[in-house]
Structure 1
Amino acid sequence: MAEVNSQEGVIHSDKLSYTAYPRSVSLARRRAARLVEEWGHGDQAGAVALLVSELATNALLHGCFRGRLFQVELTLAGGMLRVSVSDPRGELLPEPRPASENEQFGRGLLIVQDVASSWGVEERSVGKTVWCEVCVE
Structure 2
Amino acid sequence: MTEDPLRLRYDRLDYTPFPKSVTLARRRAHRLLTEWGQSELALDTALLVSELGGNAVLHGCLRDRLFRVELALTEHAVRVSVSDPRGELLPSPRTAAPDEMFGRGLLIVGALSDRWGVTELTVGKLVWCELDVVRAAGRSANRQESRPMPQESRPTPVTAPSRNPERPAARWAS
Shorter-chain TM-score bucket reads: over 0.9
RMSD: 0.9
The 5 Å alignment of 1:52-131 reads: 52-131=49-128
SS in 1 for 2:129: strand
**Percent of paired sites with the same residue:** 58
Q: Distance in 1 between matches of 2:36 and 2:111?
A: 23
Q: Distance in 2 between matches of 1:95 and 1:78?
A: 29
- TM-score norm. by structure 1 comes to 0.94
Deviation at 1:103, TM superposition (A): 0.3
Report Cα offsets for 1:9-34 as digits up to 9, x if no partner. Answer: 10000000000011000000000000
Give the corresponding residue for 1:25. 22
Q: Number of residues paired by the alignment?
A: 132
Q: Which runs of 4+ in 1 moved over 3 A?
A: none
Larger Rg: 2
Instruction: Give the alignment partner of residue 38 of structure 2, picking from 37, 41, 46.
Output: 41
Structure 2 segments unaligned to the other structure (5+ residues): 135-174
Structure 1 segments unaligned to the other structure (5+ residues): 1-5
Larger proportion of strand: 1
- TM-score norm. by structure 2 comes to 0.75
Deviation at 1:8, TM superposition (A): 3.1
SS in 2 for 1:29: helix
Give the corresponding residue for 1:14. 11
